[in-house]
Structure 1
Amino acid sequence: MDTRRIVITGGPGSGKTALINYLEKEGYPVMHEISRDVILEAQKEGIEQLFLENPILFSEKLLEGRLKQFHEGKNCAAPVLFYDRGMPDVTAYMDFVATHYPENFCETCNEYRYDEIFVLPPWEEIYEQDNERYESFEQAEKIFHFLKSGYENFGYKIHEVPVGTIKDRVEYILNHLKNTP
Structure 2
Amino acid sequence: MQSYTFSRHVVLSGCSGGGKSTLLAELASRGFQTVPEPGRRIVAEEQRGEGKALPWIDLEAFARRAIDMSSRDRERFSSADRWVFFDRGLIDAAVALEHATGTAASDSLSKTGRFHRQVFLTPPWPEIYETDSERQHHFDEALAEYQRLLEAFEQLGYHTIILPKIDVKSRADFVLKRLC
Q: TM above 0.5, one fold? A: yes
- Residue pairs, 1:108-119, within 5 angstroms: 108-110=108-110, 111-115=112-116, 116-119=118-121
Instruction: For residue 86 of structure 1, report the CA deviation from its aligned partner.
Output: 2.9
> Among residues 85, 89, 96, which one is paired with 1:86 in the alignment?
89
Question: 2: CA distance between counterparts of 1:49 and 1:108?
Answer: 18
CA-CA distance at 1:118 after TM superposition = 0.5
Alignment counterpart, residue 40 of structure 1, candidates 40, 44, 66 = 44
Shift of the 54–48 alpha-carbon distance from structure 1 to 2, 3 Å rule, reads closer
Q: 1:50 to 1:87 in 2, by over 3 A?
A: same
Is the contact made by 2:38 and 2:89 (CA closer than 8 Å) also made in structure 1? no
Deviation at 1:34, TM superposition (A): 1.8
1:119–1:161 contact (8 Å) kept in structure 2: yes
TM-score by length of 2: 0.87
Report the Cα distance in structure 1 between the residues aligned to 2:114 and 2:43, rounded to whole angstroms. 26
Percent identity over the alignment is 25
> Which residue is 2:19 aligned to?
15
Letter in structure 1 aligned against 2:64:
E
Contact map agreement 1:121 1:160 (CA 8 A) in 2: yes
Post-superposition CA distance 1:133-171 (Å, at most 9, x none):
011112212211111111112111111111110011111
Structure 1 pair 29–130 and aligned structure 2 pair: CA distance change class (3 A): same
Write out per-residue CA displacement over residues 12-70 of structure 1, whole angstroms, 9 at most, x where no aligned residue. 10000000001001111111112122112222223277212222111111000111111
For 2:73 and 2:108, locate their aligned partners in 1 and report how far apart those are by CA, in whole Å: 13
- Which structure's residues are more often helix, by fraction? 1
Per the TM alignment, residue 102 of structure 1 is displaced from its structure 2 partner at its CA by 4.5
| CA contact 1:50–1:58 (8 Å) conserved in 2 | yes
Residues in 2 aligned to 1:39 and 1:91: alpha-carbon distance in whole angstroms:
17
Deviations 1:94-136 (Å, cap 9, x if unpaired)? 45xx421556x53342432101210010111111100010111
Within 2, Cα distance between the matches of 1:90 and 1:44?
21
How many residue pairs align between the two structures?
173
